[in-house]
Structure 1
């Protein structure tokens, strides 16, 4: 038996936290229904001055599910959500489950080629998008299996129309779409046929680059979702009297579980503000007296550096966690100094359905004296995490290797990709591709990533995808992309290019070319022009020599 089988981290658990945890419901839909029966009048969504109760969410999601089924949607079909943090995201999620379907959350910053890739791979039958996102959808849908496009507006479910968040063009339903509000009104009072989703059925199909290659659909089951919603509830000691501020994007695994699923479980209000703007977000926390949030460290840095956001604005917060990107200790200290709240670290991936590790609520994360890394915490209940060497064998505490996670939160695999599933999750153990170590007390630390993947403010960027766009530039001969340190984003994208003979472009022109074709977090913020890129004898470009400290940068 190795040190990991003995689970030394259990001694660091908060009092009352069990070593084992069992999902209380067979599905996330059953979880929602139980909460709706328990607390029908409880508000579950707060959107500026708008409110939706559990009973109202039950009714409108029934109507939308009935509308989808009436138009050919069937059990097992995929519903793609191309939405920001709006109530319609939650309504459509519950409706998809009621129709026996699978929710495919998609980053609304995606451009046509990125969206088309996901829609093609998952075979989505229907898409729900914001009216202002429809131009991308209309360009991406042709050639995919999507037969139904439903549009909606971020201006619905509220009347405040805060100009700091919303622009004010006239609302126009895009051609070729159905209006979500109209569909709900037409089917209001109707109920879809009863479905009984099973624990191993897929609840969410978010796309991730994982540890290798192009985006893959992570099959996050209903068991995964219910289990980790309970982890959030019990680990953070949250209940129906709490209020969740939804700062993480709902299309991201943190938002899906730590905001949406958690709110449906408790039930408790989920406060949404469409997108993050530091002052608006702080005002929403104060107005609605939010007690819990979890988001990328960039959110907390933004609040720290926004003079108009004061301690009083965030005073209602009781539990604050961060995940998705490395947590600089200086940022933790600066936030605590200004607001009085300690940011607890957490760690997980799309394939672990959000948290696999977190700092116990009553504890402060230790900091590794050698690397300065803040511990990501200890493994969740019913979870065994190992650090393994290149030979796959467990390494002793203190030694650096790949982090491998095994537990009820590990996804079932990658959609229609058995080869990648076998590579990343042999025997149900997820090989994260992240490198770190465990100390003698069971605290885990991340020190690097195994592959070339870039982590920009919690968003994963695969260099090849950016390079493919760079190669489309008429002047570019060679291209390579690496991650470089960034004070705000943790890491950002840097491109190295060489030009074709007689061709030229400015660094700014190359950046703008990519900005028009990639999501905002993917396009390079820095471009360096070289006569030639470093290569192996076989002609393969050497990214490692382009990274800070590499031969080209020395």
Structure 2
């Protein structure tokens, strides 16, 4: 086990943490007892106290059990955008001894049907703007019951004018016997079973992998694995009950779910919640509510820093700006520091690890670095071919062992190649290529399956993207491998230019600049300007979609 990173652990924290042996709901129960009148969620000006949050969670859990017959171990779909209903649903499902299946609200009806069938889901909680995608599936899948929510039920009418339509849309009524209504559920008078039966080893949530490397797979997480990272995040960045968190990442994604929902509730903190990303509103909320913690991703941060009005807002209350998903380009990190005085605290994790296994020490972060192994994590670099552990500086596959690692994929046949036994421990194979420096900090090279083989040379797209961000005209970049009759594969970059650079620079100039700043085998031979790049709703650029487009054009 590597230990050099212990020298750089955050100040005043232990090297190990004891994981609570309680279900996730217990965190809400404790915070409501301690901080009953403290604001748990501020949703576009509507403050919801911890006492109210617990009361509505209990009422919802009672409805699930008493009205719909939800049993211990049942999967329950949450298909909605960030909202108070999302939080109440998640904790209500946990209180009802069931487990959450959180699904991307951007999916079509056809795509959603796969997840319902794969998990054998009978119950769904759905935002009403998504209802039309779900309702037909009652007849064609295992789905039997839909609870529909209107976000406007939690928004003060005085705030309607500047908000997205799905947030302000009035409550709708549907002609379907299997459809139930959120406010009626809370007012129904059902109470949950007196004793919660689910324990630390029972399923809590099952996020699905993105499917970028094949069929999406359900990652089984227990109360214990979720609690491990909740407590880890709370202690790593010194959160207190008076911390104020900006909740912008989608809660169906493990980063937003863990850092912007579960961790604040564990600490009794306040969440300032946004349903849709809006960089202007985010800056306004930072100033108005004195945001102290914001966990985000690089694409969202790049957009935030690109706001020409940012200097008009006072955001000095921000103490911790952290995130992951993709390395933050060095040039953007420098821009962030110049504008805010903050260093970006990057972390690393996967759906299989319910967010982070690595985190940069807040007082000693490194740019474009995954960080160091978090509490009780044994992380190593392995040769993917021989499965031998590699030394410092060598590039191989990142493997992790820790309390947050999932118990396996929902279908057992998917587990065969996911784990490896080393020194009597079971390690999860991340599929990410990386290395460790002399201080024990981990750096990602790229996805194992994303490597470009150009004339026998290994080209890692993430490295090329990072170098491209040093060009003053480039706002975003995505690099893919494209077929080449001579080299086998060659490098192409899709680029979004800064507004002031559009029309003043051409593709050939970017190529020539790249020649001067990169090795001959890795600089992009082709540049394509785009106004936008395809992304997931969590903000990750869909490089595989761009690559598939290129291959289909051959």
Sort the TM-score into its range (normalised by shorter chain): 0.7 to 0.9
Map 1:95-110; keep pairs closer than 5 Å: 95-110=92-107
Alignment partner, residue 179 of structure 1: 181
Which residues of structure 2 form unaligned runs of 5+? 452-460, 466-477, 481-488, 499-530
1:521–1:81 CA distance, 2 compared to 1 (3 A)? farther
- Indicate the residue corresponding to 2:119 in structure 1: 122
When the two chains are superposed, the root-mean-square deviation of aligned CA atoms in Å is 3.0
Which residue is equivalent to 2:9? 13
The structural deviation recorded for 1:346 is: 0.8
Q: CA deviation at 1:487?
A: 5.4
Q: How does 1:288-303 map to 2 (within 5 A)?
A: 288-303=289-304
C-alpha displacement of 1:488: 8.8
| Aligned mate of 1:444, from 425, 442, 445 | 442
In structure 1, C-alpha distance between the alignment counterparts of 2:75 and 2:286, rounded to whole Å: 34
Q: Cα offset for 1:486?
A: 4.9
SS of the residue corresponding to residue 87 of structure 2 reads helix
Partner in structure 2 of residue 166 of structure 1: 165
Q: Distance in 2 between matches of 1:204 and 1:136?
A: 23
SS at match of 2:336: helix
Question: 1:289-438 maps to which residues of 2 (within 5 A)?
Answer: 289-310=290-311, 312-365=313-366, 374-389=368-383, 390-415=385-410, 417-427=411-421, 428-438=426-436
What TM-score results when the alignment is normalised by the length of structure 2?
Answer: 0.80
Q: CA, structure 1 residues 487+9, in 2 after alignment: closer, same or farther (shift >3 Å)?
A: farther
Matches within 5 A, 1:140-159: 140-159=137-156
1:483, 1:529 → 2: CA distance? 9
The yes-or-no answer on 1:27 pairing with 2:23 is yes
Q: What is the DSSP-based 3-state SS (H/G/I as helix, E as strand, rest coil) of the residue aligned with 2:58? A: helix
**TM-score, length basis structure 1:** 0.80
Q: How far did residue 128 of structure 1 move?
A: 0.9
Separation (CA, whole Å) in 1 of partners of 2:33 and 2:107: 38
Which residue in the other structure is 2:46 paired with? 50
Change (3 A) 1:258 1:529: closer
- Alignment CA distance shift 1:379-1:215 (3 Å): same
For 1:88, which of 80, 85, 90 is the aligned residue?
Answer: 85
Per the alignment, residue 134 of structure 1 pairs with 131
Structure 1 distance, partners of 2:136, 2:434, is 42
SS in 2 for 1:161: helix
The CA deviation at 1:404 is 0.2
1:106 CA drift (Å): 0.7
Instruction: Report how far residue 174 of structure 1 moved.
Output: 3.2
- Alpha-carbon shift at residue 132 of structure 1 (Å): 0.9
SS of the residue 2:113 aligns to:
helix
3-state SS, counterpart of residue 70 of structure 2: coil
User: 1:35·1:267 contact (CA, 8 Å) conserved in 2?
Assistant: yes
Change (3 A) 1:197 1:175: same
C-alpha distance 528-213 of structure 1, shift in aligned 2 (>3 A): closer
2:217 aligned with 1:219, yes or no? Answer: no
How far residue 18 of structure 1 moved from its aligned partner, in angstroms, is: 1.4
SS at match of 1:216: coil
Task: Work out the CA distance in 1 between the residues paired with 2:129 and 2:12.
Answer: 48
Give distance in 2, aligned partners of 1:44 and 1:34: 13
User: How far is the alpha carbon of 1:327 from its aligned partner?
Assistant: 1.4
2 CA distance for matches of 1:152 and 1:124? Answer: 18
Alpha-carbon distance in structure 2 between the residues aligned to 1:322 and 1:258? 9
CA shift in 2, pair 1:526/1:385, >3 Å: closer
Count of residue pairs brought into register by the alignment: 474
Q: Is 1:63 aligned to 2:59, yes or no?
A: yes
Residues 1:530 and 1:290: Cα distance change in structure 2 (over 3 Å): closer
Q: Does the C-alpha gap of structure 1 residues 488 and 197 become closer, same or farther in structure 2, counting only changes over 3 Å? A: farther
Measure the CA separation in 2 of the matches of 1:226 and 1:483. 42
CA distance in 2: counterparts of 1:28 and 1:333, whole angstroms: 38
The SS at the match of 1:338 is: helix
